[in-house]
Chain A
Amino acid sequence: MLQTISLLMENKPGALMRVTNLLSQRLYNIESLTVARTLDPTLSRMTIVVDVDSTLRRQVIKQMNRLVNVLQATDLTEAPAVSREMVLLRIRVTMETRTAILKEAEIFDARVVDSSVEGFAIEATGDPEKLNEFIDVMRAYGEIEVTRSGMVAVSLEAKKLKLSAPVPAGAEASLQPVR
């Protein structure tokens, strides 16, 4: 079963690599990965969907939390969370199929973002299952090209985020945080 991991991390070069390394060293294939800045520009939020051996899931999360650049790694697989994905799809249409396609798009709550004589560009969001169906339906109408965003997820539980306080620098400095 796929695992959904949400990470809050420092927006720094190399941070992404450290996270994915924990998966690639075990030869786990990442199904999807999204990462973008948060409201605080020094941080990024990342959502990873990956097939991790069930016995190792907790271990992988702990090892992610251990990374210096990671503020919080959470397993959202079984936690209350909402997840969404976006599809951008280009479809070639004929004059005969135009209306039917628009109808279908409406059913899936998808929006036409570009329209020309040759076809449409359509944007759809939803959970991945629903998007799969949408893509299947569209395929029935003609040649399509699909780009998926990968899943983004948000936990529905407020998780306390404990951040480390600054510590004094240098040898004489104790290793205790300054309060």
Chain B
Amino acid sequence: MSLQLKLGNGENQQMPTLMSGAKILLECLVREGVDCIFGYPGGVTLPLYDAMYDHPIRHVLVRHEQNASFAAEGYARATGNVGVCCSTSGPGATNLITGLVDALMDSIPVVAITGQVTSKLIGSDAFQEADTFGITRSCTKHNFLVKNIADLPQVVHEAFYIAKSGRPGPVLVDITKDVFSGQGQYAPVSAIHLPGYKVFTEGHTGQIRRAAQMIWEAERPLVFGGGGLVASGASAELRELVEYLDVPAVLTLMGLGALPSTHRNFISMPGMHGGYAANMALSNADLLIALGVRFDDRVTGRLSAFAPHAKVIHVDIDPAEIGKNRAVDLPIVGDLKRVIGKLAKVAKELEPSESGKNRAARAAWWGQVRSWQEAHPLVPATSTSEIKPQHVMREIDRISCGEALVAVDVGQHQMWAAQFIRFNGPRQWMASGGLGSMGFGLPNAIGVQFGRPDKLVFAVVGDGGFQMSIPELSTIASYGLPIKIVVVNNGYLGMVRQWQELFYNNRICAVELDVFPEAEKLAAAYGFKGRTVDRVEHLSSALEEAVKEPGPYLLNVRVSPTENVYPMVPAGAALNEMVLEPPRPVTVPK
């Protein structure tokens, strides 16, 4: 049936019914499949909360709006569905912003609903008025201000469509109080039309063919995959492609899990704290098959020296990513799931005869990659006298068997977690990649647990980031979320301390976190279990105890205070100038 027809004559449309704007909003959310909203109420959203009183949609009351946007992101990251958060006007809306920018940077589908003062008061410095529409313009993929109840249903569905389609991202809908409380005729919206909103999905057939040819011709090809693979749900296609072509693959921080961490073709994460083999593979490849990556500076190191021998095939759904940081030899704009699927098919059609397969060169390339892996594998540091943070990650890895969902905060522990915790699949690893927002981990885990109530969820956070999120212990307790909080407690803002030590003559300034609450008492104050461990021999049993506990658990692990993250590519250095351990630089054979 043609949609136009359906829209045109209105035959199939339901009879409109008179409803409040708040009810209309909830109806639209239900039609979008929303089952929970992370939010915090206030003056102008009172009519919305009144409508929620007897509505089946679940509202999760967080303790700070920033954590509503982080939790919505966590829900979206874990499920792939749009996460929804909600706040009042003014301070509520401004508090949401960090999570929105975080979602923007990492392409996470989130819809934020904010209340706005009554339409005729806009611009009058009314109580709790802020120009949310203006403020969030550059914090979102798109935003809306609704002043007229008749526009509401259309806008809400547009917001969801924009959030989840193409390159996903956050969309904010600012709704005035009079729209919430006013009455309007509601009929379900059947279609949305955004003439200027371009979504490229298919990928150019000719370009895909050329890509397949380039791959067959290459002697040292490398898959360089990122968060786009996760967003697109392209894991199965990716796996088929790398297995069929037998190409090594590196995955960025955002791409971890797109291939199982134990997959034989997966080398490691590249970049500033990536594995030696991954960075060497990038530095020596003659072809990069770049899939849903944005050539971020934390991944490329000095851009002019990044993958200097490689031609680049770049597949991305966002045309603005192509050629942004690195010139591309073959661009393909499209949805990775489809493009990779087609690429595998075309590559099979074009499979050259035995003599044309570069067998010897490919074997030598694999030999080279394996030798890099063997020369400098990522091995967690251990000690008998103190708990090494890397060791904590290996223990979490041992207990989770690749099955747990792990939300991390930002800092050294984040890098160690990325290096040592393994994942069997995508959407198990939640990290603030682009924005690097501290305070992300714990509230994110809340959203993750709501999205995947059946799963073991860890929040692996630093002592700094944890102390930004402490209010959410109350949310965790209130909903009985069985999140396992592991504080990797080095007594420092460790990542900043590391840079001060290495690049600022060890002038350690404003990074000491000398006071930390007693974990057992802190958890007990919220009514759940907690414990501090500071001895290596207690670590495994403490983690096991945490996981066995049916409710939340706060495990504070005292780790060696001055451990630094290695390998490290110093800012401005090339990937192959990475430092494996202090202070011996690696010289790279040409």
Out of A58, A171, A175, which one reaches B199, CB within 8 Å?
Answer: A175
* Interface status of A135 (Cβ within 8 A of chain B): no
A66 B318 Cβ-Cβ under 8 A: yes
Q: Is A164 an interface residue (CB 8 A)?
A: yes
Cβ contacts B136-158/A at 8 Å (1 or 0 each):
01100111010000000000010
Q: Out of B4, B7, B320, which one reaches A66, CB within 8 Å?
A: B320
Least distance between B3 CB and chain A CB atoms (Å) = 4
Chain B contact patch, size range = 35 or more
Check: A38 CB closer than 8 A to any chain B CB.
no
Verify B31–A68 contact, CB threshold 8 A: no
Q: Give the interface segment out of A10-18, A81-89, A146-154.
A: A10-18
Is B4's CB under 8 angstroms from A166's CB? yes
Residues in B neighbouring A59, C-beta threshold 8 A: 320, 323-324
Residues of B within 8 A of A164 (CB): 193-199
Contact of A68 among B2, B142, B190, B322 (CB under 8 A): B142
Q: Inside 8 A of A70's CB, which chain B residues have their CB?
A: 196
Q: Does B191 sit at the interface, judged by CB under 8 A?
A: yes
Closest-CB distance, A166 to chain B (whole angstroms): 4
Query: Does B319 reach chain A (CB closer than 8 Å)?
Result: yes
Which of B160-168, B392-400, B445-453 lines the interface with chain A? B160-168
Q: Are A68 and B192 neighbours in the complex by a CB distance under 8 Å?
A: no
B581 within 8 A of A: no
Q: Does B367 make an interface contact (CB < 8 A)? A: no
- Asked if B585 CB lies within 8 Å of chain A CBs, one says no
> Inside 8 A of A62's CB, which chain B residues have their CB?
319-320, 322
Task: Check A166–B191 contact: CB distance below 8 A.
Answer: yes
Given contacts A14-B137, A171-B33, contact A166 B3 (CB under 8 A): yes
Please encode chain A, from 157 to 170, with 1 for each CB lying within 8 Å of some chain B CB and 0 for all others.
00000111111111
A9: CB under 8 A from chain B?
Answer: yes
Residue B189 CB within 8 A of the other chain: yes
Q: Does A105 contact B (CB under 8 A)?
A: no
For residue A50, which residues in chain B have a CB less than 8 angstroms away from its CB?
none
Q: In the complex the two chains form, is A167's CB within 8 Å of B192's CB?
A: yes
Query: Does A67 sit at the interface, judged by CB under 8 A?
Result: yes
Other-chain residue from A9, A65, A178 in contact with B2 (beta carbon distance below 8 A): A178
Complex alpha-carbon distance, A58 and B145, angstroms: 30
Say yes or no for A69: interface residue by CB 8 A criterion: yes
**Cβ-based interface call for A21 (8 A):** yes
Task: Encode contact with B along A1-30: 1 for CB under 8 Å, 0 otherwise.
Answer: 000000001100110011001000100000
Residues of chain B within 8 A (CB-CB) of A170 are: 31-33, 157, 188
Q: A71-B195, A175-B199 are in contact. Are A17 and B137 (CB under 8 A)?
A: yes
Contact B193 A166 (CB under 8 A): yes
| Residues of chain B with a CB closer than 8 A to A115's CB | none
Q: Does A63 reach chain B (CB closer than 8 Å)?
A: yes
Given the complex, which residues of B lie within 8 Å of A166, measured CB to CB? 3-4, 7, 191-193
Q: Contact at A168–B197, with CB atoms within 8 Å?
A: no
Distance between B363 CB and nearest chain A CB, rounded to angstroms: 40
Bound Cα distance from A163 to B199, whole angstroms: 10
Please measure, in the bound complex, the distance between the C-alpha atom of A66 and the C-alpha atom of B318, giving whole angstroms.
8
Q: Which of B198-217 contact A (CB under 8 A)?
A: 198-199, 201
Residues of A within 8 A of B189 (CB): 169
Q: Which A positions have Cβ atoms within 8 angstroms of B?
A: 9-10, 13-14, 17-18, 21, 25, 58-59, 62-63, 65-72, 162-172, 175-176, 178
Could you tell me which B residues sit within 8 Å of A by CB distance? 2-4, 7, 31-33, 133-134, 137-138, 141-143, 145, 157, 160-162, 164-165, 188-199, 201, 318-320, 322-324
Taking A71-B196, A166-B3 as given, write out 8 further A-B residue pairs in contact, using a Cβ cutoff of 8 Å, ordered by the A residue number.
A13-B145, A14-B145, A21-B137, A58-B323, A164-B195, A164-B197, A169-B188, A172-B33
